[in-house]
Structure 1
Amino acid sequence: MVFASKKPRLRAALNLQVAVVLVAMLTALWVLVWPRLERYFLLQAAEQNEVTLPLASDSLRAALDRYAPLPHLIAQSPTLGALLRAPGAPGAVAAANTELLNTALAVSASDVYVMGVDGTALAASNYYKGEGSFIGNNFSFRPYFTQALDGGLGRYFALGTTSGERGYFYATPVRDGPEIVGVVAVKFTVDAFEENWRGAASEVIVTDVNGVVAMSSQRPWHFRTTQRLDDEKLKAIALNRQYPLDQLTPLDMQRRALSGSADIATVGGMEYVASSAEVIETAGWSVTSLVPTAGARTQAMWVLAVFALVGLFAILAVAAWRQRGLQAAAVQRELEARVRERTDALRIEVEERRATEAELRRTQASLVQAGKLSALGQMSAALSHEFNQPLAAVKSYAENAGSFLDRGQTQQARENITRISGLADRMARISKHLRNFARRPDEASGPVALDKIIEDAVAVVEPRLKRDAITLDIAGPEAAAVVNGGHVRLQQVVVNLLTNAADASGPGGRVVLGAAPLEGGWQVTVRDFGAGIPQDAQSQMFDPFFTTKETGKGLGLGLSISFNIVRDFGGTLWGRNHPEGGAVFGVDLRAAEGVQEAAE
């Protein structure tokens, strides 16, 4: 009876202790863990900017480089020279208009036009637009005209005074011997770039040398200013009619530092992770990528909630254990019953352990899939280039084929169509490798062809290697090499090792991939020429979440997952420093007979 009367008081004291510990844990999580989690996911968002910025700047730079030499080539036309020498000659204007229209269609330019030395347009590719045509309009106020008239290459970005379209202008002089008799200008619009940016996970802003938003994925931001414009700059913009003055209002962007290359920016009440780069020096443009912070903070909140639940379960488990201990003296007579209960609990625990082991295997498979998708995400910039390059060529060939058909040149059109088919096959092969790499593997294992695994892994990482100009040397294996394993999971192991080697070697580096017979099996090795494995990291490099990379560059799961995959197939994954510099990682696999590609 004494023990029975103490039970409620013991239980109340224990519940109070649990509540105090729980409050202290939640407070500690919020004060100590939340800022670090928030910063970690914000830095992950900043890494997304590192992909968006090169894609946006490279596409703009490619367009500028493509159109820069065109005015000089067009200026060599005898038709334009004849027009400028004798503007009133019968048929001179019509011939020049037709030639400029064909040129604009061939090079995908918005407008091509020729002006006299006074700046008046004499002929233009848009001659058929009536009032919208450039013919008869004077453009001597534009800087690109005066730059070309002085003998140089004129360049300028502005809102068109006739067309009302934003565009980049290139201009060059037309010479009759040493004398400049006119100016040829080429304009291309930028709307297509902005359409590609819209719908992406980040916003893009391109500002000119004065801080005016020349291009943006958000239309309301056009012509807004990111810095104060003094009277002199406003006067120059008005004189050149570059932008509408009534729209040059501040964007009200507030920024505070997040890291060395990223800021937290507030624009119109929305908060973003912002990264900028001065990437188009000749145009004086700066590109800024903005990723909303809401997604990063949501991820951080979910992780914090998981931490809190784990901590709560641990506290409740400890509290239950303590409660059983405090009540032990009062329940001695129930010992035999508790032994029976414990036996049942052990049986349940064994069943739970088996279920936990199955869950661990499913989790490992999920981590493998996440690792593959993360690798594809890190290589997105290189893969984008690998697709964009043939797509641009396909577009060019298709346009030229249309022009050839219009002229009746069917043989040239057929050759262009053949080239388009070849480029489509190339993109299909790349897509097939990526699809096979990204699919989720089964659990079974069996005999697989080692040369096919290496071929598919190299195809996945090849765009990344090309982007960083990394040389890959491959030696072996023999086509008859068959090992025990799963195609997709072993491919993931080779991709992880090649990606790590590329990271260690750095841009312009070298990676060596080899495969050779081993007693009772085969050995695959990947060597880099980087700094090697630090001494203090050699005993931990296969531990989960251990990494020597910079914060935000990796979770430290690649080698750990690869180690377990190889072990499941009865093999061994090892790594050490190479005597001649760098590091070498190897996979020792058991030989098998036959090929069963369905065993993944």
Structure 2
Amino acid sequence: MTYSIAPLRRPRWRTLALLALLLGPLLWPLHYIAQRYYSGQLAEQNRQTLDLYVANLLGTLRRYEVLPDLLGDMPALRASLHEPIDAGVQKSANQLLERIRQRTGADVIYLMRADGYCQATSNWNESDSFVGRDFSFRPYYQEAMQNKSGRFFGLGTTSGKRGYYFAAPVHDGGKVIGVVVVKVDLDGPEKLWGRTPEQLLVTDSFGVVILTSRNEWRFRASRPLNDQQREIIARNLPYPRGSLEPLEISDNQWLIQQRFLDEIGWTAQILAPRDLLERQVRSVLYIGGATLLALLLLLAVMTLRRRHYLERIALDARAKRDLELNVQERTQDLQTLNQRLQQEVHDREQAQRELMRAQDEVVQAGKLSALGTMSASISHELNQPLAAIRSYAENAAVLLDHGRVDDARSNLRLIGELTTRMANIISHLKAYARGARRAPESVALQAALEDALALLAARRRAMNVELIRDLPDAPLWVQAGETRLRQIINNLLTNALDALIEKGPPRRLWLIANQDEKGVTLIIRDNGPGFSAEALARAHEPFFTTKATTQGLGLGLAICDTLLRALGGHLHLSNHVEGGAEIRLFLLHGKPGVASVPQEEVRG
């Protein structure tokens, strides 16, 4: 008797293609959500940047706002106006204005007579001195002569530099006899913008660009000017001749945010390229598409394996039926015995497969558990050094921009020390995961404590936490690893600062150390909310935490407890009688003055 074997069936690729077409439209909602999220994020970032720049610009101008009124009351300047031909009086007035300019940082300070000619100036001894020049056409002079405070933006007719002018009248018996003018240089606020994809744009009341991060946009009109405005501009000469070409900015190319400055009548704008937003949205769509493709491929593989499995079962069943029919033709007695033997073999094979599968699952679960613990531990321990490295790197970039190379080199050295510390932490966690142990060291407790405090100093000052120390002057030597001890103290201090966030001022942190014949005890205490009953009972358990999921993994105290036990010490948690949490860290005595032993792993 013969049987035919059906050919293997191919996976239904048409079905998978149809499923892909049905799932493809899911990328459209993903595109909408990503665009909305990154648009809001970019808008908020640009708003904060624009607010900072506007605050700096207004702060620069306000420094000089009252200076002309103060100078108008100085006797030396009044004497210069009363005795215009006295060389000694004029020299005193010029030197006085020069000294005031050097102290205040103004671009130039000058005194004008009632007829509009410059009488004295801070640049009297320079080639482009203002002495004897006629500035009566300037609006700030005309406003000051009307007994008002004059303000004006314009390009210097002599120096050719942009500036903002503050003017105030000089009185003598109720009569205006002259005008004091202070010119503020605006090149500094413009250069603060730096090289970023976002562009700066500041326009005056006429809509003309006066400050910008792009040189080709400067002194171009962002909106059409009427004949009256052009006449005023021609009379006051605030811009270079031949400027005021139209400036067109497309909304399709830029995301624009603006703020009107009521105090000076200007408008500040920040323009972010739309490509910044589109690039992030495209990245999200690429990730979503790749995920969808991976899901389809996984489904195809699972479908193929399922069909192969079913076909193999079918082949086994047909072979078994062939064998049973052949045995029935030979002898009825052997048929019963053969059936029993087949059933026993089948049962044994099934049991063996189940055993092997169970062993594989146990081994895989152990690997995943170890990998998860190692990843979570490394993430928990490296968060703070990474944050410090980021802060030092940003500071170094700013210092290099300002030419402070030595300070930047100091920051880079600190970054190098933090990377060494991170490498030691990773090495320790690897040794811990392999069941290895490190040779004991003799470490000064105060040095490790000061290092941890330095790492958290910026955060402690920002929280206004008062630090109270009760530490002996002589070094306390303990048996520990230098990196492990700093890691333990850093985790405990970080937990204390986290607890103090929930409490209003005053915030206090106590550090107390003492020793006896058994060892050294370090007490870390705060005046925060303290430990709950559940926290005291479960604080040493891995992944138990009372913080939000975004603030902690619950590994800090578990790691500290494990490290201390390996060093022969222990950790005790309690609540102080006066409120707040109290942590006692006990360590064995170390040999005084002994240098640190190299951290070599000793197989346990």
TM-score of the pair, normalised by structure 1? 0.65
Which deviations, in whole Å up to 9, do the C-alpha atoms of 1:10-45 show, x marking residues without a partner?
x241x22333333433431x2011221233233333
Q: Secondary structure at the match of 2:8?
A: helix
Structure 2 CA distance for partners of 1:346 and 1:84, relative to 1, 3 Å: farther
Distance 1:87 1:281, change over 3 A: same
| Aligned: 1:111 with 2:119 | no
Distance 1:314 1:585 in 2: 51
**1:569 maps to which residue?**
560
What is the match of residue 180 of structure 1? 176
The residue matched to 2:140 in structure 1 has which SS? helix
Provide the secondary structure at the position in 2 that maps to 1:136: coil
Give the aligned CA root-mean-square deviation in angstroms.
Answer: 5.3
Describe the superposition over 1:413-454 as per-residue Cα deviations: whole angstroms up to 9, x where unpaired: xxxxxxxxxxx99x9999998987798732337997796477
Distance 1:250 1:307 in 2: 43
1:476/1:42 CA distance change after superposition, 3 Å? farther
User: What SS class does the counterpart of residue 114 from structure 1 fall into?
Assistant: strand
Residue among 36, 40, 55 paired with 2:33: 36
Residue aligning to 2:63: 66
Contact 1:490 1:565 in 2 (8 A): no
Shift of 1:139: 1.8
Query: For residue 27 of structure 1, what is the aligned residue in structure 2?
Result: 25
| Deviation by residue 1:479-512 (Cα, 9 ceiling, x = unmatched) | 899999674797589679968987x99xxx8573
Taking the aligned partners of 1:593 and 1:201, their CA distance within structure 2 comes to: 57
Give the direction of change, closer, same or farther, for the CA distance of 1:244–1:121 in structure 2 (3 Å limit): same
Is residue 117 of structure 2 the alignment partner of residue 136 of structure 1? Answer: no
Q: Which amino acid in structure 1 is aligned with residue 143 of structure 2?
A: Q
2:78 is aligned to 81
Query: What displacement does 1:169 show?
Result: 1.0
Deviations along 1:202-246, one digit per CA (max 9) or x if unpaired, are 322223344332211111222234444444444433332223475
1:277 match: secondary structure = strand
- Deviation string for 1:521-576 (max 9, x for gaps)? 96766869xxxxxxxxxxxxx999x98xxxxxxxx73344xx344444349xxxxx
Change in Cα spacing, 1:223 to 1:323, as seen in structure 2 (3 Å) is: same
Any idea what SS the aligned residue of 1:67 has? coil
Contiguous gaps of at least 5 residues in structure 2: 317-345, 430-437, 513-520, 530-542, 563-578, 591-595, 600-604
User: Aligned-pair distance for 1:348?
Assistant: 10
User: What is the rounded CA distance, in whole Å, between the counterparts of 1:153 and 1:459 in structure 2?
Assistant: 47
**Change in 2 beyond 3 A, CA 1:234/1:23:** same
Judging changes above 3 Å, is the alpha-carbon distance between structure 1 residues 570 and 284 closer, same or farther for their aligned structure 2 residues?
Answer: farther
Q: Contact 2:525/2:583 (CA < 8 Å) preserved in 1?
A: yes
Question: CA shift at 1:367, angstroms?
Answer: 8.2
What CA distance in whole angstroms lies between the structure 2 residues aligned with 1:142 and 1:500?
A: 62
Q: In 2, are the aligned partners of 1:437 and 1:460 still within 8 Å (CA)?
A: no
Q: Which amino acid aligns with 2:268?
A: V
Moved more, 485-494 or 104-113: 485-494
The offset of 1:111, in angstroms, is 1.5
Which letter maps to 1:24? L
Q: Return closer, same or farther for 1:243/1:56 CA change in 2, 3 Å cut-off.
A: same
Aligned to 1:211: 207
* Distance in 1 separating the partners of 2:283 and 2:109: 55
Q: How many residues align?
A: 501
Question: Are residue 310 (structure 1) and residue 323 (structure 2) matched?
Answer: no
Identify if the C-alpha distance between structure 1 residues 459 and 481 changes in structure 2 by more than 3 Å, giving closer, same or farther: farther
**Which position in structure 1 is the counterpart of 2:551?**
558
Match of 1:270 in 2: 253
Match of 2:52 among 41, 49, 55: 55
Residue-by-residue CA offset, 1:155-213 (whole Å, 9 max, x unaligned): 22212222221111112222334332211111121112222213134322223344332
Q: Distance in 1 between matches of 2:368 and 2:8?
A: 35
2: distance between equivalents of 1:38 and 1:493?
41
SS in 1 for 2:168: strand
Change in Cα spacing, 1:179 to 1:287, as seen in structure 2 (3 Å) is same
* 2:302 maps to amino acid: W
Indicate the structure (1 or 2) with the bigger Cα radius of gyration.
2
| Residue 145 of structure 2 corresponds to residue 149 of structure 1 | yes
Match of 1:512 in 2: 507
**Is the alpha carbon distance of 1:123 and 1:296 closer, same or farther for their aligned partners in structure 2, counting shifts above 3 Å?**
same
Distance 1:141 1:364, change over 3 A: farther
> Match of 2:323?
none
Q: TM (normalized to structure 2)? A: 0.65
- Distance 1:597-1:231 versus aligned 2 partners, 3 A rule: farther
Which of 15, 18, 43 is equivalent to 2:16?
Answer: 18
Give the CA deviation at 1:95. 4.1
Whether the 8 Å contact between 1:496 and 1:558 is mirrored in structure 2 is no
Partners of 1:5 and 1:585 lie apart in 2 by 77
Structure 2 CA distance for partners of 1:558 and 1:350, relative to 1, 3 Å: same
TM-fit CA distance, 1:84 = 0.9
Matched with 1:252 is 248
Quote the Cα distance in structure 2 between the aligned partners of 1:439 and 1:152. Answer: 64
Cα offsets for 1:88-133 (capped at 9, x unmatched): 2234444433443343333322222111012111232333454x43
Q: Give distance in 1, aligned partners of 2:182 and 2:464.
A: 40
Could you tell me which amino acid in structure 1 is paired with residue 367 of structure 2?
A: R
Shifted more, 199-208 versus 182-191: the winner is 199-208
1:49 is displaced (CA, Å) by 2.0
Identical-residue share of aligned pairs (%): 24
In 1, distance between residues paired with 2:597 and 2:525? 19
Residue 303 of structure 2 aligns with which residue? Answer: 322
Check the 8 A contact 2:499/2:528 in 1, yes or no: no
The Cα shift of 1:85 comes to: 0.8
Does the CA contact (< 8 Å) of 2:141 and 2:150 recur in 1? yes
The alignment status of 1:293 with 2:289, answered yes or no, reads: no
| 1:437/1:491 contact within 8 Å kept | no
Give the superposition deviation at 1:295.
3.2
The one of 233, 258, 261 aligned to 1:237: 233
**CA distance, structure 1, for counterparts of residue 4 and residue 586 of structure 2:** 68
Contact 2:393 2:415 in 1 (8 A): no
* Aligned partners of 2:392 and 2:411 also within 8 Å: no
* Separation in structure 1 between the aligned mates of residue 392 and residue 47 of structure 2, nearest angstrom: 11
State the alpha-carbon separation in 1 of the partners of residues 258 and 458 from structure 2: 30
2:121 and 2:107 map into 1 onto residues whose CA distance is: 11
Change (3 A) 1:438 1:177: farther
Query: Contact 1:515–1:524 at 8 Å: present in 2 too?
Result: yes
Q: Compared with structure 1, are the counterparts of its residues 452 and 346 closer, same or farther at alpha carbon in structure 2 (3 Å cutoff)? A: same
Specify the alignment match of 2:163 in structure 1: 167
Kindly tell me: are residues 225 and 74 of structure 1, through their superposed partners in 2, closer, same or farther at Cα, counting changes over 3 Å?
Answer: same
Query: Structure 1 residues 527 and 31 mapped into 2: Cα distance closer, same or farther (>3 Å)?
Result: farther
Name the aligned partner's letter for residue 75 of structure 1.
Answer: G
Distance 1:353 1:303 in 2: 34
The answer to whether the 8 A contact 1:112-1:184 is kept is: yes
Displacement of 1:51 after TM fit?
A: 4.1
Structure-2 residue corresponding to 1:127: 124
Correspondence for 2:42 among 35, 40, 45: 45
**Where in structure 1 are there 5+ consecutive unaligned residues?**
255-265, 395-423, 529-541, 548-555, 572-583
**Which residue pairs with 2:192 in the alignment?**
196
Amino acid at match of 2:14: L
Query: Whose RCO is larger (CA < 8 A, sep 6+)?
Result: 1
Contact persistence 2:491–2:556 (CA under 8 A): no
Out of 348, 358, 367, the residue aligned to residue 354 of structure 1 is 367
Q: What displacement does 1:87 show?
A: 1.3
Q: Is the 8 A contact 1:453 1:487 kept in 2?
A: yes
Change (3 A) 1:439 1:489: farther
Listed one character per residue, the Cα deviations across residues 34-74 of structure 1 (whole Å, up to 9, x for unaligned) are 22123323333334324422431232223112222332343
Name the residue aligned to 2:338: none
Q: Deviations over 1:123-151 (max 9, x none)?
A: 32333454x43233222222222232233
